[in-house]
Structure 1
Amino acid sequence: MRDHHSLSSLKKIIRDPSKLREVGYYLKKDIYDVFTNINRLWYKKFNQSEPGEFITDEWDTLVILDAARPEYLKENMTFSNENWSYKYSPASYSYGFMESEFKDQELHDIVYVTGNPYISRLQEDIFHDIINLYESAWDDDQQTVKPSKVVEYTKKARDQYPNKRFIVHFMQPHFPFIASEYQEKISGRIANELGDGTGVHPWNSQMYRCEDNHEDLIQAYKDNHKLVLPLCKKVAEDESGQTVITADHANLIGERGFPIPIKHYGHPADFPHPSLLRVPWITIGSGNRKTTADKPVDREDVSENTVSERLSALGYKE
């Protein structure tokens, strides 16, 4: 596969020498991938972070933000009664988090409202119901599920299931940066130029090519935090009981790795860097509503093609 890719890249250069710059991206990527794997092995061997309890902790509504940095949430927090603490996620990416927290569980007192397609990769009978917004509320223009849609469908589900706990999983602040004027400045275009699916989001571009303005990228990422927080507040205020806001994992924004001191971006799979695992645990309200556990409802499966297309749009290589 690599030989075929190299030959294809060579043909592109011969036809258009200006493509040499883009092909250089892949040469750097190959080197960085080796260094990343060395650092991955070190973190997996010596990571001392103790994963927190997410599902078994006390809450009536658990709001999960995707790839959120605690400090950026704190900059934009407007709640008047929140209690801040932190946990360490069991994984550095969404599927790893879900597998660790949900797999083989019977959570039949919980309805899961989600914009994240990875939930389809787990067995169907974990929750009482799953509201798959990546099928019913996907925005083709923005290539994600908007946070306003998550709030809308959560309200409908609460009306339908008044005696259930809720997990509400927003896709923000994960890329794409739908809140930001900087979105058009962020490249993420390398994959389109080379006809490959390995670099469709700007964190890869920043790490392997370093062409995007770092300040623009960070500001766009911050803006997605700012966008989603008021919607989290609405979810918390629309229901009695205790709401907790957390994240499935964080996101690296240029932290140096170890033992190879390269800069890391995004949230690589199975990469337990401390800054990637540390997530907020923000408690709002108090008390517990009375809930009941009932057998899972019947629902139609989401097609695997749809799941793969959504994951690809969000920058995950399938």
Structure 2
Amino acid sequence: MTDENEVMDPGRLISKGVRNPTQIPTWLYFRVQGVYDEFVFTPRKARYLFEEDWDVAVILDACRYDLAAERIASHSIRLGDPEKATSVSSWSPDWIRRTFGSAPEETLAETAYITANVFTNELPKSALGDVDRVWQYAWDEELETVPPRPVTDRAIAAIRTGEFDRYVVHYMQPHLPPVGKHAGRFTGFSPQEGEPGEEREEAEWAAVKSGAIDPDTAREAYRENLAPVLDDLEILLDNIDASKVVITADHGNYLGEKGRWGHPRDHIHPAVREVPWWETTATDRNTYTASNYDTASERVDREEKLEALGYF
């Protein structure tokens, strides 16, 4: 994966332009769009997590607002219709950087981050109180992702200790690959070539665009992939005490709008920037015993996991 500082190196960019002159207009477009996103659109419209009052914040990865509004109506979880919020980014690395990077250091020190998202290297240098990288020891090789349950287990165990003032719980679903009905149907595809910041999709969405996967099947798999994490969210809310819980998403996901799929960097279309926002409470009814994990059992290769999620 190309480092952002390398992408922005002038010498490297000139060399890239000489080698691929036909790509210069595309590159310029995304550089301009990126600057606009960073300095105009996001500060003006986005809802920053740490500017809100909450004890526990649950992040659903790549969850569109309209998907949440549609699926919540048929699920047993009692959250009601979500509010519509604008995310600070259209992909996880910038969401992590902007969200945690905008928080005061004293707030970060009292915050624990329990996460299945692989982009923990984007966290700010200022130390969080704790970072539980669930993806490092609970990766499912068959599903090629982290299913919801290990995140739920680790979050319940951590929040019950009451060691920190705030907890951010970051699930990977509904981000593909799927963990439920369509599990196993979206693995083994080669992703599009390209660098972060360019017009590209994750492997699954590149396969849709190329015709290897039927678009309607992909849409159904994405929609169905919200149900497993909502099931676990019910368990979580019944087994922690929190006077204010926020449930939202890091970004949305294109489902064919303007021929686009996935969630490329620096995009401001509603499909990738409109996310759900719920506020609720949680009471520990002690209906679930969290499983234990050997957190030192496996230190996985980060790039392998990014590839499985489609980022290479």
Question: Normalising by the residue count of structure 2, what TM-score does the alignment of the two structures yield?
Answer: 0.73
For residues 144 and 137 of structure 2, the distance between their equivalents in structure 1, rounded to whole angstroms, comes to 13
Match of 1:64 in 2: 59
Shift of 1:34: 6.8
Aligned counterpart for 1:203 among listed residues 191, 205, 211: 205
Match of 1:306 in 2: 301
Match of 1:17 in 2: none
The structure-2 alpha-carbon separation of the partners of 1:187 and 1:157, relative to structure 1 and needing over 3 Å to count, comes to: closer
Q: Secondary structure at the match of 1:275?
A: helix
The structure-2 alpha-carbon separation of the partners of 1:142 and 1:128, relative to structure 1 and needing over 3 Å to count, comes to: same
The Cα offsets for residues 244-283 of structure 1, whole Å up to 9 and x where unpaired, read as: 1100000001111xxxxxx111011122223211111111
Aligned counterpart for 1:86 among listed residues 77, 84, 100: 84
Q: Secondary structure at the match of 1:117?
A: coil
Contact 1:43 1:272 in 2 (8 A): no
Shift of 1:76: 2.5
The structure-2 alpha-carbon separation of the partners of 1:199 and 1:75, relative to structure 1 and needing over 3 Å to count, comes to: closer
The structure-2 alpha-carbon separation of the partners of 1:87 and 1:36, relative to structure 1 and needing over 3 Å to count, comes to: farther
The structure-2 alpha-carbon separation of the partners of 1:73 and 1:33, relative to structure 1 and needing over 3 Å to count, comes to: farther
Shift of 1:178: 1.6
For residues 191 and 57 of structure 1, the distance between their equivalents in structure 2, rounded to whole angstroms, comes to 37
> 1:266 aligned to 2:268?
no
> 1:248 aligned to 2:250?
yes
The Cα offsets for residues 264-318 of structure 1, whole Å up to 9 and x where unpaired, read as: 110111222232111111111289xxxxxxxxxxx99x97x7222222221112x
Shift of 1:188: 5.4
Contact 1:183 1:220 in 2 (8 A): no
- Unaligned 5+ runs, structure 1: 1-30, 257-262, 288-298
The Cα offsets for residues 166-219 of structure 1, whole Å up to 9 and x where unpaired, read as: 1000011111112123742x4752459x9xxx8762111222x13311111001
Match of 1:189 in 2: 189
Tell me whether 156-165 or 307-316 shows the greater mean CA deviation: 156-165
Shift of 1:138: 1.2
Match of 2:175 in 1: 174
Equivalent AA in structure 2 for residue 275 of structure 1: A
Tell me whether 155-164 or 127-136 shows the greater mean CA deviation: 155-164
- Unaligned 5+ runs, structure 2: 1-21, 194-199, 284-294
Shift of 1:150: 0.6
Shift of 1:223: 1.0
The structure-2 alpha-carbon separation of the partners of 1:211 and 1:286, relative to structure 1 and needing over 3 Å to count, comes to: closer
Shift of 1:81: 4.7
For residues 37 and 173 of structure 1, the distance between their equivalents in structure 2, rounded to whole angstroms, comes to 32
**Percent identity of paired positions between Structure 1 and Structure 2:** 26
Shift of 1:142: 1.4
Contact 2:201 2:261 in 1 (8 A): no
Contact 2:62 2:173 in 1 (8 A): yes
The structure-2 alpha-carbon separation of the partners of 1:139 and 1:126, relative to structure 1 and needing over 3 Å to count, comes to: same
For residues 264 and 36 of structure 1, the distance between their equivalents in structure 2, rounded to whole angstroms, comes to 17
For residues 280 and 40 of structure 1, the distance between their equivalents in structure 2, rounded to whole angstroms, comes to 28
The Cα offsets for residues 112-147 of structure 1, whole Å up to 9 and x where unpaired, read as: 100012113324543111111011211122111110
The Cα offsets for residues 217-260 of structure 1, whole Å up to 9 and x where unpaired, read as: 0011011111111212222232231111100000001111xxxx
Question: Normalising by the residue count of structure 1, what TM-score does the alignment of the two structures yield?
Answer: 0.72
For residues 98 and 45 of structure 1, the distance between their equivalents in structure 2, rounded to whole angstroms, comes to 19
The structure-2 alpha-carbon separation of the partners of 1:121 and 1:218, relative to structure 1 and needing over 3 Å to count, comes to: same
Q: Root-mean-square deviation (CA), in Å?
A: 3.3
Contact 1:252 1:275 in 2 (8 A): yes
Equivalent AA in structure 2 for residue 189 of structure 1: F
For residues 266 and 212 of structure 2, the distance between their equivalents in structure 1, rounded to whole angstroms, comes to 26
The structure-2 alpha-carbon separation of the partners of 1:40 and 1:247, relative to structure 1 and needing over 3 Å to count, comes to: farther
Equivalent AA in structure 1 for residue 98 of structure 2: S
Equivalent AA in structure 2 for residue 71 of structure 1: D
Largest Rg, 1 or 2 = 1
Match of 1:15 in 2: none
Match of 1:19 in 2: none
For residues 45 and 254 of structure 2, the distance between their equivalents in structure 1, rounded to whole angstroms, comes to 19
For residues 177 and 73 of structure 1, the distance between their equivalents in structure 2, rounded to whole angstroms, comes to 16
Match of 1:146 in 2: 147
Aligned counterpart for 1:96 among listed residues 85, 94, 97: 94
For residues 177 and 304 of structure 2, the distance between their equivalents in structure 1, rounded to whole angstroms, comes to 15
The structure-2 alpha-carbon separation of the partners of 1:37 and 1:220, relative to structure 1 and needing over 3 Å to count, comes to: farther
Tell me whether 79-88 or 126-135 shows the greater mean CA deviation: 79-88
